[in-house]
Amino acid sequence: MRFTFTPDHIAIADLFGSNISYIVPEYQRPYSWDCIGKSEQNNQLNVMWDDIIEFFHSDNTGEYFFGSMVMIEKESRLYEVIDGQQRLTSLVILFVSIKCFLKKIADNQIPLDGSSSEIEELNSFLPKAIETINDVIFNKKTLGLIAEKKVKIEKNAEFDYDKILTSVMECSALLNLNTANEEQEKVSKRYYSNRDFFIKKIENTFLDGVKFTKNNAIALDKFTEFLKYKLSVVRIIAPDFDVAYQIFEILNNRGLPLSNKDLFRNFIIQQFSKLKVEKPDRYAQINPSEKWNELENNYSLTQDFIGRWVESKKAGQQKYSAFNDLKELFEKKYTDDIDKSKVEKIYEDVKTDLGYYSLIIDETVTDLLIRNKIIFLLNAGNVRYSINLLLALFRCCKYTGYDNVDILDFITTYEQYFTHTLLSKNQRFTSSSIYNAIVALNNNDVVKAKSEFVITDEETEELRQLINSDFKDNTTAKLFISKYIWYKDSNIDDVISHRLDFDKATLEHILPQNPALGTNWRNDFSEVFRKETTYKLGNMTLLTRRLNSSAKNNGFSIKKEKYKDTTLWVTQKLTVDNLVIDELFFQNRQKDIVEAIYADLKINI
């Protein structure tokens, strides 16, 4: 297919030219660039600032290329942003931060420094500099009396992020967010924190200590001019959404997890938009954006979902990227018919599987035994393959989340295979059994799929011995103590339930690995017994990191007081009055924990 578009290589001054406006449509994901961390997922603002300021301070006389943006021209000088809203919004916030910095000086929050003539020059400079920034980010209307933002966020039914952006651009404090949910509050605060991040960077760069001087003003003016005329972007203007989407796909299709969801979103919107155009009588009432919102708002449509869905459907690794493989499935496995278009079919399949996926990752399965087995698998490593398998299993069995003997039996068989592979020195995890099982599940053959994970009698006995042996790796030991807790919790019938926070928990050795001199551990237990017991599951429990650190290598009387600070029953049991901590205690506790895990894995015979 041939299509035309207009790429413009322009400076930021032209990007934010006179009477130009950009609309971020409501179907775009919320603003996500961050300044809080060190990974590529949460430090985009750090990288942006470091790159720009380094280029500014260098002797390079060229330009700094800030990336590309894809847009549709809705009317003269009014553009709908298809790709590049993160860059565009971050640029606005950078200019806003300069304005807010200047306002702090004008409001005497930052003192001026210099001779009386220099102070006079600075007082003249400030309003002109603020007006220069306003000309970049605002359009003037009605004889210049009313300013309108050049970048606006289209309001949707759920939350008005444009109001947040307006507040940020006015250098205001955080708005009242009482009506926002957790995610909306997080996104809203991101606008403010990014602005304040840039303000702090500007203060560190363009102040002499805590004062603003004439030399600072000259340097800041040069920096502002640099941003306007030395930063450039390629703005690609497409004639319609169809062309814009294809360009967006080409530019972004690099197999990155963060882009798959965005590409899928635009794919869904594009395909339903096509239906409206091609068959208006039948599909006039369809709202493409609402079709997407239904998926995103009602299910856990994470960045990872597309990859898990594709691999569970294909029974194999992705070829290039999850989205490319999804499109390949769409073209090869789905066809239009009289009753339904192929986009409606893939949409319904995705929607159904999102329900299964949400059961898995949200830990919302109603049946406690099955739920806790899933939680174990999600914390045991090789999560990608376990989710692929569970997604195919739930789809095959049309699982609703309630008790199901076949689902429980299948997952338990897989757990036997998984734990044996995890603990045995002679076994290595491979994906072949996973994908062979998925092939069988996709052919509705649960029995054949389960056979991929059946371990031999010899392997079962080896697994029993391994569970009853030493666990010197704290991560693995924590996992199996947690399994014991999850199994016991599955069989508790009470009006109050507690959920173990696996990420927060740390492993605690009751009998310390290096007991302090003079403690009951050295006085009451022989070195031989301590060596035999220290790394057994019967000597382990869970605490928070803080409590674990404070318990350390102390005697039991001190540890017991620390244990009282947790409500976790497995640790609370150690605080009962008149509890005798002797060899028999550890032996009985080992037996209780190990036999519970045997029962959970159904290897107790």
Asked if pLDDT for residue 157 goes beyond 60, the answer is no
What does the angle CA 360 – CA 302 – CA 326 come to, to the nearest 5 degrees? 95
Confidence of residue 254 (pLDDT cuts 50, 70, 90): very low
Which of 47-56, 132-141, 180-189, 492-501 has the weakest average pLDDT? Answer: 492-501
Report d(CA 116, CA 78) in Å as an integer.
46
Dihedral sign, Cα of residue 436, residue 442, residue 443, residue 449? positive
Among 17-26, 230-239, 243-252, which stretch is predicted with the lowest mean pLDDT?
A: 243-252
How many CA atoms, within 13 angstroms, populate the side-chain half-sphere of residue 55?
18
Helix axes 342-361, 288-298, angle to 10 degrees: 20
Report which secondary-structure segment, H or E, holds 91. helix 85-106
Report the percentage of the chain scoring pLDDT > 90: 59
The mean of the pLDDT values for the chain is 88
DSSP per-residue letters across 97-158: HHHHHHHHHHTTSS-B-S-HHHHHHHHHHHHHHHHHHHHHHEEEETTTTEEEESEEE---SS
Residue 526 pLDDT: 94
| pLDDT for the residue numbered 255 | 36
Whether the CA torsion 76, 82, 85, 87 is positive or negative: it is negative
Ranked by mean pLDDT, the top range of 53-62, 509-518, 565-574, 592-601 is 592-601
Torsion, Cα of 399, 404, 405, 407 (10° steps)? 30
The answer to whether 427 and 443 are in contact (CB under 8 A) is no
- Taking the complete model, does pTM exceed 0.75, yes or no? no
Which residues lie closer than 8 Å to 108 by C-beta, 6 or more apart? none
Write out pLDDT tens, residues 533-591: 999 999 999 988 676 655 678 899 998 888 998 888 999 999 998 899 999 999 999 99
Buried b / exposed e over 20-29, threshold 16 CB at 10 Å, is eebbbbebbe
Predicted confidence (pLDDT) per residue in 474-530, tens digit: 999 999 999 999 999 988 766 566 678 888 899 999 999 999 898 999 999 999 999
The least confident of 102-116, 141-155, 501-515 is 141-155
Q: What is the per-residue pLDDT across 299-341, written as a single tens digit (0 to 9) for each?
A: 999 888 999 999 999 998 776 568 878 988 999 999 999 889 9
- Tell me what pLDDT residue 38 has: 52
Contact of 274 with 330, CB cutoff 8 Å: no
Highest mean pLDDT out of 39-53, 171-185, 273-287, 447-461:
447-461
> What pLDDT does 429 receive?
79
Least confident of 145-149, 198-202, 247-251: 247-251
